[in-house]
Structure 1
Amino acid sequence: MTVRATDILKAIQKLNPAEKHRLREYLIDALTASSSTGTALQEISERKHKEGYRCPDCESEHIVRFGKYSTIVDGEEVKKQRYRCKACRMTFTDLTNTALYRTRHLHRWMKFIECMIEGYSLRKSAQLIGGVTHVTLFYWRHKLLSALKQMDSSHFQGIVEMDETYFLYSEKGKRKIADRKSRKRGGSAKKRGISNEQVCVLVARDRDKITFSQTLGMGRLTKEQLDKAIGHKLSSENVLCTDAWRAFKTYAFDNGMAIYQFKSDGKIRTKGLYHIQNVNNYHRRLKGWIQRFNGVATKYLNNYLTWFQVLESIHHQRNEMTMKDMMVKGNLFPSVETYDTLRLSTFKI
């Protein structure tokens, strides 16, 4: 059955004002997402190859054009360039080893990015996007986050607030858990306080909002973990503001750094310019945001920390610029994750 444009226009005229408004919003979102996809793909190509073409397999710079391939961009079939390495004979495209590699739904990615900025669940995102399952979106989510995780933040300047927070170790999604009963919606620890049931997450921020967040291991933070995770971003010119945990003080002493420490009782919260209120507020926002997922598997926790860090950097704003920027940055770094590597991965201490 062929539907003519005049029939569609007549049907639109019969809609009530609320229905017309919803249709208008849908068309604006759909057209904006489509136009942004094409420009994002072009920007990915330009930024990946700004210093010349390089083989993703052997790193050779002896690259030649090798025909075209067809893909759907903005609802139309588009011919894209394929390349071949003269050294190893491998063929590749602008999207090889990226989050977008081999995706069959390029035109749906911008709507997916929008859902990620809103922090929607996989099932809700699948309903809003249409034509794709929540299982596929799980794969998309972690491919994108594993790439974004490779973005290296700048070195810290001046005063650096640093504090650890803890999440209950979780094996959410695992069918058979050997040493304990499964928990419902996150559950609670068997032991009170900080124990080896808790995953230590270090967050550090300077006054320019340069942020570092990463899981360090189980239980209390150690000086060695601190040095390995963040030592390369600090120098003796930084002034540390931390809680009273001894690992921070030992690290500062060993590296010739000034340090101001604040006890958790909250009686003394500031010492002039020095405090840890920024990092503590970051902890509060992070934990409030992550609650919507009803528990996060610990092996994926670093990805969620990256996700929240990106959202904070764009102030949780959803617009054409932030969506395109997130899509471009998420495809400038190699991502070779597959559904199986994600599903079978384990938390590395």
Structure 2
Amino acid sequence: MKTKAYCEWLEGVGRLTRKQRTAVLVQLNAAESREAIVSELESGHLRPCPHCQSGRLGRWGRQSGLQRFRCRDCGKCFNALTGTPLARLRHKERWFDYSQALIEGLTVRKAAERCGVAKTTSFRWRHRFLTEVAGLKATGLTGIVEADETYFPLSFKGSRQLPRPPHRRGHAAHQRGTGDGQVPVLVLRDRHGTTTDFKLTAATQAEEAAIIGRVVAADAVLCTDGGASLKGAARQAGIAHRALNLSAGIRVLAGVYHIQNVNAYDSRLKTWMRRFHGVATKYLDNYLGWRRGLERWGEQITPGVILQAAVGRCVPFQLLTQT
């Protein structure tokens, strides 16, 4: 806006009605929030071309408030969101509010009310924001590592094609443990607080051994409740194993070997999940990653951290991994 036009607009502000002034403030706040989010996404980061990984780039104007770049090798254009789960999403000025809603663990409807969007938009944003977060898992657990299986009801919530007759009035899982109506999740946690989890197709020795051998250090000691599958998995992976005899009341061995930390984590996870009144099994990995991130970031979590994690540029990623 030119100076003369700006001065004329400013002189007219005093003649605005209260409703009009409120509308102007809403627009100004939205613009300020949008600029803050763009600054967060573009701050100190110039990634290579997402199409050919070339570093020979040139600025190529702006679009949707974001700086565009053109690759001098492949000739394709991109911005800070190209190739990320947040690409092509609108209403950037509300992303900080939505990130805060994720930090607080709000439901889809409550997050939609806070951000002033439709509940379908809130649902779409939730799983776009959590796509990259779900992949932030610890890659090396050391020392004393506790392992346990926890179970979630198999759910086709939101699906239009069901492999079974629909439950018209809701349905509770009547079979505990490893029934067909349960989805097993293997949770591993060491004494540093480093946690990782894996949704399993079945709680079998072969599937668990592959995971344990990949994420547990060779010189670590694995503590379990003595279940046959985890015991065999530890042996197959070549990891030292300490099994507790819970049925005999033995919950601690040698004063240090127990599974109280992983059991406490399972309890917090399930308590936190109750607010969603059941989650679809196909989205379970996203919710596991969501809770895992909240626990590990702790007081360091901010909307900016959530936003960076959502686009795959999580600065405090080392907090999720012990070396």
TM-score by length of 1: 0.76
Tell me whether 1:82 sits opposite 2:68 in the alignment: yes
Aligned to 2:304: 324
Quick one: structure 1 residues 227 and 138, their matched pair in 2 at CA, closer, same or farther if it must change by over 3 Å?
Answer: same
Partners of 2:232 and 2:15 in 1: CA distance: 73
Which whole-Å deviations, capped at 9, do the CAs of 1:142-172 have from their partners, x for residues lacking one? 1111111222424112010110101111001
Cα deviation 1:253-309 (Å, max 9, x = unaligned): 233322111244371111111100010011111111111111110000000000111
Give the Å deviation of 1:38. 4.4
Q: 1:176 to 1:150 in 2, by over 3 A?
A: closer
Between structures 1 and 2, the one with greater strand share: 1
| Contact 2:209–2:234 (8 Å) recurs in 1 | no
Q: CA 1:197–1:105 in structure 2 vs 1: closer, same or farther (change >3 Å)?
A: same
Q: Is the 8 A contact 2:37 2:93 kept in 1?
A: no
SS at match of 1:314: helix
Post-superposition offset of 1:325: 1.2
Query: How do residues 62-77 of structure 1 correspond to structure 2 at under 5 angstroms?
Result: 62-71=56-65
CA positional deviation for 1:4: 4.0
* Contact in 1 for aligned 2:205/2:229 (Cα 8 Å): yes
User: Which of the pair is proportionally richer in helix?
Assistant: 2
Alpha-carbon distance in structure 1 between the residues aligned to 2:143 and 2:309: 27
Match of 1:343 in 2: none
CA RMSD between the two structures: 3.0
How far 1:123 moved relative to its partner? 1.2
Secondary structure, counterpart of 2:129 in structure 1: helix
Q: 1:189 aligns with which of 173, 187, 190?
A: 173
- Per-residue CA deviations over 1:105-138 (Å, capped at 9, x if unaligned) read 11101111111111111111111211x1111111
Give the share of equivalent positions with the same residue, in percent.
38
Q: Which residue of 1 aligns with 2:295?
A: 312
* Corresponding residue to 1:150 among 123, 132, 135: 135
Q: 1:45 aligns with which of 25, 42, 45?
A: 42
SS of structure 2 residue aligned to 1:113: helix
Partner Cα separation in structure 2 for residue 164 and residue 149 of structure 1: 19
1:42-70 Cα deviation digits (max 9, x unpaired): 34334643xxx422122233322222224
- Residue 226 of structure 2: which of 244, 263, 285 is its match? 244
TM-score normalised according to structure 2 size: 0.81
Cα distance in 2, alignment partners of residues 115 and 274 from structure 1: 38
Gaps of at least 5 residues in structure 2 are 1-11, 315-323
Residues 121/91 of structure 1: CA separation in 2 closer, same or farther (3 Å cut)? same
Give the alignment partner of residue 225 of structure 1, picking from 207, 213, 217: 207
Gapped regions of structure 1 (runs ≥ 5): 13-26, 72-79, 335-349
Q: 8 Å contact 1:150–1:333 — kept in the other structure? A: no
Asked if 1:118 corresponds to 2:104, the answer is: yes
Where does residue 163 of structure 1 map in the other structure?
A: 148
